[in-house]
Amino acid sequence: MTHPIGLIDRDHSILAFNERVLDWACRDQVPLLERLRYLCIVSSNLDEFFEVRAEPHLSAYQQENSVGVYTSQTFERLAVATHGMVERQYALYNDVLMPALAKNGIRIVAHGDRKPAQRRWVKQYFEREVRPLLVPVGLDPSHPFPQVANKSLNFIVRLGGKDAFGRANDIAIVKVPRVLPRMIRMSVKVSDGAECFVSLSSVIRAHLSELFPGREVGEFSHFRVTRHSDLAVDEDDVKNLRTALRQGLEQRHFGQAVRLEVSAGCSEYLSAFLLKQFGLPELALYRVAGPVNLVRLTQLIDLVRRPELCFPDYKACYPTQLTPGVSFFEQLKQGDVLIHQPFETFEGVLDFLHEAVHDPQVLAIKQTIYRTGSDSRLMDLLREAVRRGKEVMVVVELKARFDEEANINWAEMLESIGAQVLYGVVGLKTHAKMMLVTRREGRHLVRYGHLSTGNYNPRTARLYTDVSHLTANPALTADMERIFVHLASHSRLPKLNQVLLAPFFLHKKLVGKIEDMTVASAKGISCRIVAKMNALTDEALIYALIKAGAAGVKIDLIVRGACMLPAQVPGVTDNIRVRSVIGRFLEHSRVFYFRQGADEQLLLSSADWMNRNMMRRVELAWPITDPVQRQRLVDECLVAYLHDEGDAWDLQTGGAYLRSQAAGPKLGQGAQAALMARYGQQSSGRGR
């Protein structure tokens, strides 16, 4: 089939998203330490981009993918764009943020700027805390280039003279221990009234010569290598997925190298030596004018306690539809409850589970676990439920990227105390978020459920926008029960009442809805689609949307990150607008609205519109049928973002994003700020 338009390259779209995040670090009106935090977030995002997406060798690009054939030119364009972003990061760090911090009495003192008393303090710190942990390795035939872990900090040194055995081996490597803090607060006695810090790399750099007595330290540089870190386990070929993943985690830190970062002043000799060692092309080399790992500067933010340089504290209100002190089960019998996080607190969900755990009439609790973090009150509650004799079944997704170890540990803990732990379906990630409580009420067993667009992670629930849905709807909770049985038994899935489940029905149903609206619009019926998600990269859905727009359907897409659909192309996608909203919180909720004539439908979902979500994951989408609840979601999750005048970016015809024109020269209020103001006012009056 010939399509009328080419799609936007996914990797470039991911980089464009990070440019929008970087813009927050550039804004004068953003508190200074928050600007530094956004700079760190971009660096963290780029780390993951390289760990998961990047491949430095041309052979990987000489193949056809979803947007055509990759060539050396394609790879070079991506590398040039990435290098440009990194250069802008460090220019902002050196020319704007560091001087601004210094004006506010916060200084990272380089070796050349240290006064004699400060140098003595650093020397004492080096001798006491650092030197005992350093083991310089001189390279020779019996000491080959050491294994360098993913994203670890190291020094490479070129030495003059000869070693103790009369040999002229000139290269040495110094691994920097990860157990040491990267940012160190200097003593008040040597700080001259300011808050002074030194970086660990500068402490070691200042004393490199002392690590090589009798040798002359010439050229040197710190360096950091990023490795491919997406675990690949052939589930059909392993007997125990948990054991295989734990073994894979041990090797993750030593995957194929994909990026090399060195100091800006690193000599050509040393950089060429490192590139050869890691088997990398020149375009994979990043010379940086500052710390090779900006992510670690979050330690500085944590060390500096200056509230005036951070966002004002926001205290989420207790969910407005819930009455504290009244049983959840009684409240849910009166109707469903929606919680709009983080404007309303995730504590409502934890309190629901807490009541279920401590209610003697509750017999069973079933839950999916994707990301919970390493320290989780929720997991403690599940452990207590087992102790109290309840049937606890947990579907733990072991392959949740970069959370594998935490999830394996939770799975082993729950199994050890008698919970039934499942690992989902072979070949699929269980990304659905749901919890089902079964309670005895008289002669009947009654189910209560929780569905969510986000993870069961109390920490990220304060930082991500998501929607939680508590329900006693028999049709919806019966679907949840059937899905849990399906995940446990792998039996054929019976017909569901309301839930759309991937990989079985969700993709087909979404494409079908869009196609139905295309037909209806061609007949003159007014049709509208508004969809909010994190990413839009599935080709079938993209082309269905393009066809619907061409037929007259008015389409607004609120896509935080990667979007491959080219909007506003004359004669092709005139009716499609794409917005991205980047704010204080990470936009994470998935809300899909369809209107055909007077008929409205709104779905909440765990799934983005990506092929992997639709075809290689267990995902849910479910309807909100109550008109009042549905209108609330339309107003707060869709309309508010379509009218955002502070944090929105609009995708242009050529594929670039521009700050919303509605903002004009003076920024208006963003959707998140409006929701914070609305719920913050309610918070002050609820006493919680």
Quick check: helix, strand or coil at residue 640? Answer: helix
564 phi, psi to nearest 5 deg: -95, -5
The string of DSSP letters for 414-446 reads HHHTT-EEE---TT-EE---EEEEEEEETTEEE
Q: Which tokens hold the place of 562?
A: 């990667």
Nearest to 670 by CA among 582, 588, 587, 592: 582
Q: How far apart are CA 322 and CA 331, in angstroms?
A: 7
DSSP letters for 290-356: S-S-GGGGHHHHHH---GGGSPPP--PBPPTT--TTS-HHHHHHH--EEEEETTB-THHHHHHHHHH
- Residue given tokens 């030596």 in the structure block: 273
Whether 431 is a known active-site residue: answer yes
Instruction: Enter the tokens of residue 558.
Output: 């609120």
Q: Which of 14, 11, 22 is nearest to 55 (CA)?
A: 11
Residues in Cβ contact with 442 at an 8 Å cutoff, skipping those fewer than 6 apart:
none
What whole-number distance in Å separates Cα of residue 187 and Cα of residue 190? 6
- Alpha-carbon gap, residue 288 to 279, rounded angstroms: 20
H-run or E-run covering 602? strand 599-605
E-strand stretches of 215-371: 216-227, 257-263, 285-288, 337-341, 362-369
Q: Which amino acid appears at position 445 of this protein?
A: L
From 12, 222, 340, 431, active-site residue: 431
Q: Which of 6, 5, 9, 23 is nearest to 77 (CA)?
A: 9
- Rounded to 10°, the helix 10-26/72-92 angle is 10
Q: Which of the residues are catalytic?
A: 431
